[in-house]
A and B are shown apart, each in its own frame.
Chain A
């Protein structure tokens, strides 16, 4: 069974500071990894995903994440936080299920708080 652990339910940064949201996963097969963002009262929006190939993945809004197989990690970073980045962030892992579909397993989420 696959699982996702997001370290820290809340992360607080100052505007302009580095953002680092941590995600560790467990999976018995090479995983697909995702980061989603959820703004208040909205659904999930895909930030970026890792499937195969380059381990450093760039996403929208200046975010990127690096797949480190040896550490089973997929941490999300952004060099400089903006007030508009304040939201809930979810890491997810999926692999091919019986029935031919990919069903993601989500972490519990990390709330990013950005201070002026």
Chain B
């Protein structure tokens, strides 16, 4: 069984640019969530996707957006990057919407200069 994978592993961008991060859910999982983990902090919930629709959002501005595809893979897009967007971005999938357990990918380390 393939776990959650994310790409790229590392990324460097400059302020004002746009970035797209990608996630492939664990096989058979239909729900995906994205988290931002700043240095020295716990993960913060960005949003969740279920059946290609956003199904809940944390306290993040609209410049953070996402997509989920029919194969349940997902993208996180961030526009107008700010220095504070530098963080580890984690994707997590769960088998069903109501599952209380999520499986995390290794993350994408984004650095904004």
Binding site for B on A (CB under 8 A): 4, 9, 32, 36, 41-46, 49, 51, 90, 92, 94, 96-109
Contacts and interface: CB of A to CB of B under 8 A. Distances in A.
Contact of A102 (B40, B41, B98, B109): B98
A97 to B, nearest CB: 6
B103 to A, nearest CB: 8
A46 B41 CA distance: 17
Contact of B56 (A43, A45, A101, A104): A101
Contacts, number: 67
28 contacts: A9-B40, A43-B106, A43-B107, A44-B43, A46-B101, A49-B100, A49-B101, A90-B42, A92-B42, A94-B100, A99-B56, A100-B97, A100-B98, A101-B31, A101-B48, A102-B99, A102-B100, A103-B33, A103-B45, A103-B48, A103-B56, A103-B58, A104-B45, A104-B102, A105-B45, A106-B43, A106-B44, A109-B41
Contacts of B43: 44, 90, 106
